[in-house]
Amino acid sequence: MMHQGVGRSGEPLVAGVDLSTQATKVVVCEARTGKVVRDGRAPHPEGTEVHPTAWWQAFTEASAGIVDDVVAIGVAGQQHGLVPLDERCEIVRPALLWNDTRSARAAEDLVAELGAQTWAAAVGTVPVASLTVTKLRWMAEHEPALADRVSSVLLPHDWLTGMLTSALDQPVTDRGDASGTGYWSPGDGSYRKDLLAHAFGRRSPRVPEVLGPGDPAGETRTGAVVSAGTGDNMGAALGLDLAPGDVVVSLGTSGTVFALSPTPTTDPSGTVAGFADASGRFLPLVCTLNAARVLTAAATMLGVDLAEFDRLACAAPPGAGGLVLLPYLDGERTPNLPDAAGTLSGLRRDTMTPENVARAAVEGMLCGLAAGLDALRDVGVTVRRVHLIGGAAQSKAVRTAAPIVFGLPVTVPAPAEYVAIGAARQAAWALAGTPEPPAWQREDEARLAEPKDTDRSAGERIRHEHRALRRAVHRT
Ligand SMILES: Nc1ncnc2c1ncn2[C@@H]1O[C@H](COP(=O)(O)OP(=O)(O)O)[C@@H](O)[C@H]1O
Ligand SMILES: O=C(CO)[C@@H](O)[C@H](O)COP(=O)(O)O
């Protein structure tokens, strides 16, 4: 498959993999500059439980013919997913993904048993259905015979990394992804196996060794260096080379809001997850379950494609003629409403147009992220401007509405797979063996209009209406 070598330009090449929710994406970059020279992608099956062999199939398809000459490779993956292996490293049951909400009651129980403050102080996060620790509790309660067979517990990126190095029996991970398990402490840099054993009700299963940010995990069969890998949001932060004051809003399957922090953060309310990053620092993050797919679902409901959806949403005024959408179409994680459904309110005969419905979908999705920006400020993050990334950042309607709803300058970095680029940069780092990652150039970014005063008041009104509806319907 892979063999050591250089690209046609004579530059050594490295590959980065984004094992995200809906697809596996692969980029091949020049190790020295970061220039992307090739890419590939392949879809994943629908659903919130996926057999990891489907990821291997997607990786094989996405990387076919483009990674033969890379000298290093790294994987950034969707966070939190539970990949349980038995003592022969066979998969015990299909992986439960971050957006699977069946462990909501388990999360409530774990919080009730130990207290939100204890969890936040111990591991930087308060359990919600997304976290690995709650999936282990669910499995222990609902599938005890399978739980008895579990010998080690991996995350999606750990598993793919282990497949690449042929070392699933000696699994490795990194600080960033480990910090999303609910049983690794970003503050102490160590596992809390007591919490893992408490949740699982059994002796703690084996957990991957946490490598340092630039450490190699091993080699592929053909001798390419494999880096430690990380979570997808940490990968994006590395790919974007974030500066202080920069906040990322990522609109993929999940909506995430995150920024770098030099110190760990804790939020006993559970809104901000106090993750570690992939560079040795920290990554406070807010995650919503409903982002890009709110737009695709609204477009399907309106019977239009995404281009027409965009045209409709852009044709409506800010505030969508009074229509307000709480877009909790898959339940919600932030606020923690795993069983919620969406609500569309404010319909009047003269305003219930396709244009206003489309605009309300865009604004409703963005309001969840605006609340995330406020929550980041509350834990001490400086928010000066927003970088908008992820699939839905390509939507003109989203680009138009985002500075208004956020009340901040917003830039859209040149369209690129930043998670995969971050994974490739980590691979180049492991290859170089330097204390810091290589300095990679970034393409120019499109700066969007800064919000005007009139925009600001429209944005405040939109956020106010969204909050008021949420309180009325969900009392949160
Ligand atoms: N122009 C667009 N408008 C709205 N949504 C879009 C657009 N382009 C892509 N998307 C959506 O973005 C999502 C994929 O984004 P991505 O960041 O790749 O997600 P993930 O990393 O979770 O797989 C899909 O749901 C897709 O429909
Ligand atoms: O759970 C989180 C973050 O805590 C999600 O951001 C997942 O990491 C999935 O990411 P995407 O597939 O939406 O990029």
d(CA 461, CA 244): 29
Q: Residue 11: what pLDDT? A: 83
Asked whether residue 466 is marked as a ligand-binding residue, the answer is no
Distance set, CA 172 to CA 16, 159, 208 (Å): 17, 9, 4
The DSSP result for 365-429, as a single string, is HHHHHHHHHHHHHHTT----EEEEESGGGG-HHHHHHHHHHHTS-EEEPPS--HHHHHHHHHHHH
Catalytic residues, by residue number, are 232
State the DSSP code for 206.
B
Q: For the domain bounded by 13-231, which CATH number is listed? A: 3.30.420.40
The predicted-structure confidence for 307-356, as pLDDT tens digits, reads as follows: 999 999 999 999 999 999 999 999 999 999 999 999 999 999 999 999 99
Ligand 1 neighbourhood includes 256 CB (under 6 angstroms): no
Taking the CA of 392 as reference, the closest ligand is 1
Asked whether residue 79 is marked as a ligand-binding residue, the answer is yes
d(CA 412, CA 108): 37
d(CA 84, CA 19): 17
Ligand 2 proximal residues by C-beta, below 6 Å: 20-21, 78-80, 98, 130, 180, 231-233, 252-254, 256, 285, 287
Distance set, CA 305 to CA 130, 224, 301, 308, 312 (Å): 30, 42, 10, 5, 11
pLDDT confidence of 230, banded at 50, 70, 90? very high
Strand ranges of the sheet holding 410-412, from the earlier edge strand across to the other edge: 273-276, 282-288, 255-258, 246-251, 385-389, 410-412, 446-447
Measured over the CA atoms of residue 66, residue 176, residue 181 and residue 258, the dihedral's sign is negative
Q: Given phi > 0 = left and psi -120 to 50 = alpha, else beta, which region is 49?
A: beta
Who's near 153: CB < 8 A, 6+ residues apart? 82, 83, 84, 85, 132, 136, 196, 205, 206, 207
Q: Residue 202: what pLDDT? A: 93
Ligand 1 neighbourhood includes 313 CB (under 6 angstroms): no
One-letter amino acid of 118:
T
pLDDT confidence of 8, banded at 50, 70, 90? low
Does the structure show a pLDDT above 80 at 18?
yes
pLDDT confidence of 7, banded at 50, 70, 90? low
- Give the position, in ligand 1's atom list, of the atom nearest the Cα of 310: 3
Q: Residue 444: what pLDDT? A: 66
Who's near 435: CB < 8 A, 6+ residues apart? 214
The residue to mutate among 306, 311, 312, 417, having the most atoms of ligand 1 within 8 angstroms of its beta carbon, is 306
Distance set, CA 97 to CA 147, 148, 263 (Å): 17, 20, 28
The predicted-structure confidence for 184-229, as pLDDT tens digits, reads as follows: 999 999 999 999 999 999 999 999 999 999 999 999 999 999 999 9
The predicted-structure confidence for 276-312, as pLDDT tens digits, reads as follows: 999 999 999 999 999 999 999 999 999 999 999 999 9
Hey, where are the domains in the chain?
Answer: 13-231
- Give the position, in ligand 1's atom list, of the atom nearest the Cα of 394: 1
Does the structure show a pLDDT above 50 at 2?
no
Distance set, CA 217 to CA 158, 167, 210, 227, 281 (Å): 10, 9, 10, 5, 20
